[in-house]
Amino acid sequence: MKNFLTFICSFFILLSGCGKYADNPQQDNLISLTLNGNTLYVELADTPETRRQGLMFRDKLSKNQGMLFIFDDDNYRSFWMKNTKIPLSIAYIKTNGKITDILNMKPYDLRSYKSTQKVRYALEVNQNWFTEKGIKPNDVMNIPENIFRENR
């Protein structure tokens, strides 16, 4: 009986941890960005592991929340929606903060959503967030100094 209770307790602890990971951002990894006067709170994806995980397996994303992918160089970027339940929009952004592309991505879509220029950042938000806020290509995102890896 003791082993059974230990198993059940362990199972529920593991299950509750999975739900937290899937639905809630890492609060200590949130920063605020400003785009055309709109504040957005983003998680940083600045390591190979966090970039690979992205927003996969999440059930929801808060209204003014997103994920900022930070790369070590300027290059053409490509994203897909494998294991991603949430309809997202992605903005590709140059080192100077200028948005080059905004694309709407479909859940679970395995096709590549590619940048048309070399970029340093990619910003994923709930689908149509950019449209609702009037944000378009050529707009500039305010990039806080503290997101640069060498300053952290």
pTM, 2 dp:
0.79
Number of domains in the chain: 1
Specify which of 32-46, 66-80, 131-145 reaches the highest per-range mean pLDDT.
66-80
Going by pLDDT thresholds of 50, 70 and 90, the confidence category of residue 27 is low
- Whether 9 is in a domain gets the answer no
Residue 6 within any structural domain of the chain: no
Is 16 inside a domain boundary? Answer: no
Q: Is residue 21 part of a domain?
A: no
**pLDDT tens figures, 46-98:** 999 999 999 999 999 999 999 999 999 999 999 999 999 999 999 999 999 99
Asked whether residue 142 is assigned to any structural domain, the reply reads: yes
**Domain range enclosing 118:** 26-151
**CATH number for position 103:** 2.60.120.1140
Q: Is residue 4 part of a domain?
A: no
* pLDDT of res. 148: 54
3-state secondary structure the chain: CHHHHHHHHHHHHHHHHHHHHHHCCCHHHEEEEEECCEEEEEEEECCHHHHHHCCCCCCCCCCCEEEEEEEEEEECCEECCCCCCCCEEEEEECCCCEEEEEEEECCCCCCCEECCCCEEEEEEEECCHHHHCCCCCCCEEECCHHHCHHHC
Q: Is residue 17 part of a domain?
A: no
